[in-house]
Amino acid sequence: MPNLHEDPYPDVYIGGGFSDPARIPPTDSGPEQQAAPEAAPVPDEQADDRPGHMSDRHGRGYGWRKGRLPTALAVMTGIVLAGHSLVPNSVGNPGSLLETLLPWTGLAVPVLLLAALLRRSVPAGVAALLVAAVWAAMFGQLFLGGRPDAEPDLTVVTHNVGAANPDPAGTARTLLAADPDLVALEEITDDAMPAYRRVLGRRLTHSVHIGTVALWSRYPITDSERVTIDPGWSRSLRARVQGPGGPLAVYVVHLPSVRVGASGFTIARRDQVLTALDHAVDQERQKKVLLMGDLNGATTDRGLASLNSRLTSVQDEAGTGFGFSWPAAFPVARIDHILTRGVTPTEAWTLPATGSDHRPVAARLKA
């Protein structure tokens, strides 16, 4: 063991063994060793501390000041959706066209949400969610499936069979598959009438046929007449049916067609006939009323507002979904309707496509 008093530089431990400091070679740093300054840590990304700006761990910003265009589009969509009744029908009737296709505005919601996400815009996301809330408030109840708690005793079907229908007998068999008590048909031609009468008449023995509309019934038809709502045309009737719950006034109607063309949405003649139909329903003395047919308009269309105030849509009351009926290949609007007063709808649905450009619609009622 070395003598510590005689050796001022004892062996010191360096790494894995002892070494003599005297044998360590000198450096060029001068008499005094300067410690190198410690380098400041370099962050992966600089956080953005701007007001109204949030960043995730990778520095991507989610701002209140970003995405002005998607925010503006979402706000405009919400205004149009909530205030559709304020869109004028002055030139080309854009208000009624918008209201006919109003359920489809829901498709804007995922697009607006995606735009807000891509732009990382908080205001655009909030505005898109508000549009979704407005749409859900207007149409969400159609998907809840709530139905009145009543036992149905009457099944009804209505169908615009189409003048160019190549298979009237097959169409009639499709309608009978729903086991209906009443079948209302519109746009019947003279050539097709024998086929409908032959197939439907086997199970529904009571019928009335006026012009291009007809009604078949399992129950006695005690009275019938033409409803003069469209001068020059014979495509509406009223019948009194002795149903399971007593007398029932049944209307079968086919309103004038509407078109989208160079002059806009042509609804003038339809609305004129609607006014006459609304007056006829208002004057109806029977407490129980059933109106079936092709109204060439959606219940969201302002043109049907007065009629809607007097009658209840079975689809709105007891159906699930929108119940679109036209065109048959890919329905985008519900223009074929079953409306009631004094009876309780318990179920409403759309039947499979036939040879017509419309789909049949059906309902079960407590009469």
Q: Do 121 and 190 belong to one domain? A: no
Percent share of the chain, pLDDT over 90: 78
Q: Do 184 and 226 belong to one domain? A: yes
Q: Considering the domain boundaries, does residue 188 fall inside one?
A: yes
Contact 215, 204 (CB under 8 A): no
pLDDT bin (cut points 50, 70, 90) of residue 66 is confident
The average confidence (pLDDT) of the chain is 88
Q: Do 260 and 303 belong to one domain? A: yes
Q: Do 77 and 125 belong to one domain? A: yes
Domain final position from 143, 170, 205: 143
- pLDDT beyond 70 at 44: no
Arithmetic mean of pLDDT, 185-200: 98
- What is the spatial distance between Cα 174 and Cα 277, in angstroms, rounded to a whole number? 29
Give the tokens for residue 214: 């007809």
Contact 234, 210 (CB under 8 A): yes
What is the pLDDT at residue 146? 65
CATH number of the domain at 222, please. 3.60.10.10
Q: Considering the domain boundaries, does residue 36 fall inside one?
A: no
What is the pLDDT at residue 22? 52
- pLDDT beyond 50 at 196: yes
CA-closest candidate to residue 314, choices 280, 290, 278? 290
Overall number of domains in the chain: 2
Residue owning tokens 């009624």: 96
Q: Do 110 and 174 belong to one domain? A: no
- pLDDT by residue (tens digit) across 264-301? 999 999 999 999 999 999 999 999 999 999 999 999 99
- pLDDT by residue (tens digit) across 306-327? 999 999 999 999 999 999 999 9
- pLDDT by residue (tens digit) across 166-185? 999 999 999 999 999 999 99
Domain final position from 143, 170, 198: 143
- pLDDT by residue (tens digit) across 345-360? 999 999 999 999 999 9
Q: Considering the domain boundaries, does residue 243 fall inside one?
A: yes
- What is the spatial distance between Cα 154 and Cα 247, in angstroms, rounded to a whole number? 13
CA-closest candidate to residue 46, choices 38, 58, 28, 54? 58
Q: Do 69 and 167 belong to one domain? A: no
- pLDDT beyond 90 at 7: no
Q: Considering the domain boundaries, does residue 34 fall inside one?
A: no
Q: Do 273 and 328 belong to one domain? A: yes
- pLDDT by residue (tens digit) across 17-35? 444 555 555 555 444 555 5
Q: Considering the domain boundaries, does residue 213 fall inside one?
A: yes
Q: Considering the domain boundaries, does residue 35 fall inside one?
A: no
Domain final position from 143, 164, 193: 143
pLDDT bin (cut points 50, 70, 90) of residue 40 is low
- What is the spatial distance between Cα 20 and Cα 11, in angstroms, rounded to a whole number? 5
What is the pLDDT at residue 148? 74
Domain boundaries, position 344: 154-366
- What is the spatial distance between Cα 226 and Cα 104, in angstroms, rounded to a whole number? 37
Residue owning tokens 């019948």: 239
